Each structure stands twice: as C-alpha cells, then as structure tokens.
A and B are shown apart, each in its own frame.
Chain A
Amino acid sequence: MSAGPAAVGAGPGADGSELVEFIGADKVFGNGFRALDPVDLALARSEITVLVGPSGCGKTTLLRMAAGLTAPSSGRLVRRTDRMSYVFQDPTLLAWRSVQANVELVARLQGVPRAVRRERARAAIEMVGLTGFEKAYPRELSGGMRMRVSLARSVTSEPELLLMDEPFAALDEFNREKMGAELLHLWRLRGLTVLFITHSISEAVRLGHQIAVLGSHPGHLVRVFRSPSPPPAEATAPRDDAALRALRIQISEMLGGARI
C-alpha cells in the first residue's frame, strides 16, 4: 500500500520542493558502532513528518543530523534553511527566569531587538494559551504548561523548520493529546515544516502527513507512509478515522513483526 496518489496528502503551501533531504545518510560512530543504515527521506515544506519506531532505531540521530549537530558518516544531508528550532522531551527552561523571559530566550540570544521579541513572545504565549502567566516561574506551572512554554519559545525565533524530539513523551495521555492539537494549531498558523519524533504510533498517525517507520539494530528506515487522511488545513475539517485506524494497525503490525 503506497498511499494512493502521493500529492494528495500534502499540507498547506506544499509545492513539492523539499526543505530537508536525507540522501543515503547513515551514521557510524567513532568506535565502529553502526547507529543508522543509509536513509533516504525528504521533508516537504509545510508538512509534518513523523519518525516512529522503538528506542535505539536512530530517530534522535536523524533529528540531530537535520539540526546540524552531527554529520552523516556517508551520504548527504540537504537543508534549505537556517531558521530552525529544537524542542526537547523535557521543557528545558531556565528555572530562574519567568515565562516571558524563557519564551524570549532564543530570540534574545539571536539578537532580535527587544520590542520585536516582546511582541513575538506575546503572540506565542497567546497561541499556546498561557496569557496571564507571563510572570510565573517554571516551577509554579504544571508539566503540560511548561511544555507549552517550551513550544512558545520554539516559535519566537520564527523558524521555518521545527525539530521535535519526543516533545510530549513525558506528559500524561490527556495532556499529550492536547499538546498534539496545540502543535497542529501552530502548524496551521505558521505553515511550519516539522520533523517529529515519537514512539507512540497513534500520535504519529494523528500528527503526520508523512510517517517514517524505523527499526532498530542497527537503525534503519523500514517504510515511509503518506497519511491517508493528513491533518487538514482547516481545524474543523473532518478526518477519515477509519483510514487512520487502519494505518495505525498496519504500522503496529510492522513494528511488532519479527524483523524489528
């Protein structure tokens, strides 16, 4: 099943030009450990690509490659933007700074003028529904709220590319779904290109336009799916739940199979 006509699943603004491409990119560490077999994967602009797979399948290595934090051992990585943000599994906030200061942090480090970053932070805080909490400190917030701060921070540098390393994995199921909706909300407003790591298959299917399934020992790309019913540009547009469920089951069986 190769998800019918490929372009059907494209998100808003997708024009076929890829923002990031892995071309036969693999990773062998200095001690000879092979973390990742060669991967070919392209991220279309304004689409959410989800990497899903068991731990040790090289998901984070791929993400770090996309961020330029590590280079492929062979093959190539093409990234057609420098404007990117990284979101970690933990909120990764400065405990001694207020929500406002934390949201502004990356923009401040990049030298964005105060007035501009103030306004961006205000918009971002509003977008994640934390208006009124600007002066609070991280320890006064719940886990989900801290993650929202982290999300707000990631967009104040106005990135084109959002790299997310299991950002909601530490949250409970309820908050996790809410944060997923939050991410889609952001994506709709900003048309971001997102590379999203998760080991939750249902999260992958809910969020992804494109879902890359990875296996481990060593990490390798098993298969790339186009979503049969990708996140729509209109929040209210209906989605084909049956098709998503079928995809989830299919991926589930792949990951549960003997090969992986």
Chain B
Amino acid sequence: MTRSTAPGPGTEPPAARTTAGGSAGGSAPLPGVAPLPGVAGTRAQRRARLRWAVLPPVGALLLGLAGWQLVITLFGIPGYLLPSPATMLRTVAAELTTIGTPTWVTMREAYVGFLLAGVGGVLAGLVMSRWRLLERGLYPYLIILQTVPIVAIAPLFVVWLGPGAVTNTVVAAMIALFPVAANTLAGLKSTDRNLVQLYTMAGASPLVRLLSLRLPGALPAILTGLRVAAGAAFKT
C-alpha cells in the first residue's frame, strides 16, 4: 500500500521544477529582457504558473483512470481480478480509517526519516568534500550500506530500539541518506575550477567560497539527491 504511494512524492518535485523552467522559457518571448524567473510577477503570471503546475498531473490522473475503466469495460474483466476505479474509490471511502490511520503513520515516519537523511546527507557530503581523507575512508562504507538488504538490518534495529515509529524512522533515514550524501559530494566537487581561481585571486576565504560559490553550484545535484531520497524513504 505505502509502496504504491512512493512515485507520488518522488516525482512531484521534478514536476514543480519543470514548471519554473518552463514558464521562464515559455512566457519570455524576449529572451534576456524583461520577464525573469523566480521573481513573483503579476497576479496573472502567478495564476498561469499555478495552472501549469496543477493541470498536467491532474490531467494525467484522469486519463489514467479513464484508461483503467476502458480496459475493464472493453475486455469484460471481472471485478475480483481488476476492480474498477469506481469500486476502488467506494471501498477507500468506506474503509477510510482502516486505510488512513496506518498511511498517516507511514507518511510521518517516512517524512521524518527523509528529513533526517536530508540534513545528515548534506552534512556528510560537505564533510567528505572538505576532507579528502574522510571521503576515501567513508565513501566505500556508504556504498556498502546501500547494498545491505533492509530485511537483514531492520530486525537488528527492532532489537535495539524496539518495534515502532523510532525504528521505522531510523531505517528510512538510513536508506535515504546515501543518495543525498553522494549527490551533495558530486555537486560540490564539480565546481568550475576557473571560478574557484577567480575567488581565490580575489582573496575569498574558504568559507566564502563554500557559501557563495560551491554550495549554490551544488544545489541542483543536492535537489536530485533529495528527490531520489524521498522515494527511498517511503520504500521502507
């Protein structure tokens, strides 16, 4: 059940992102002159952006449901093999608390785990990019951690922390940590060398270099990591 919700939170941010990029390219007939992305713009522009964010996913959902219903009608598939969308919605409505409560619990665990992984992963990436020795020492184990099956370590955590929300959250965080850490590290290491030289020649301190140059430059990579991590956190 929770598994099927995974693509939702996992794919939503990219959709939102295409929006920002799309509206910048789409609604800017004079490149480089007036309309700039990121700036709020007029009310009409904001509404257009919102439409662009909401309509495509809603449309896709409706199309999917229609296709589903069409297949059932067309091939006469019996309800016990593939229930129709209408049946499903009715059942969900009838069993709302039975389904809703555990879903809410799972979501809470996954989100907290995701949050922990986000913070921890970015920190791990920062630390590894700053000290080469730590990268050499820790990175292999991060990868190994990634390959360990959840079912193999989850019982250990249950023993240590007891069954329940804490364990689930920690496991979710552990699974989601790697993509964030790996992407942060890659992003930080890909800083343009000439820009680094420019900053150095201007007498910028390492901290200024990090905050003003390397971290902003790594943001797209970090966001990619977070997107992957969001999906991963739900899979536990």
Contacts and interface: CB of A to CB of B under 8 A. Distances in A.
Contacts of A157: 202
Interface stretch (A7-15, A33-41, A84-92): A84-92
A67 interface: yes
Contacts of A110: 202-203
B201 A67 contact: yes
Given A92-B194, A92-B195, A109-B208, A133 B32 contact: yes
Contacts of B31: 140
Interface residues of B, number: 22
Given A94-B213, A140-B31, A106 B194 contact: no
B197 A69 contact: yes
Given A106-B202, A109-B202, A109-B204, A140 B195 contact: no
Interface residues of A, number: 24
Contacts of B33: 132-133, 136
B195 A94 contact: yes
A91 B190 CA distance: 17
Contacts of B85: none
Contacts, number: 51
Contact of A136 (B32, B197, B199, B201): B32
B32 A88 contact: no
Interface in B17-74: 28, 31-33, 36-37
B141 to A, nearest CB: 33
B199 A109 contact: yes
A145 B204 CA distance: 26
A113 to B, nearest CB: 15
A50 B110 CA distance: 61
B198 A106 contact: yes
Contacts of A136: 32-33, 36
Interface in B157-195: 192, 194-195
5 contacts: A105-B198, A110-B202, A135-B36, A140-B36, A157-B202
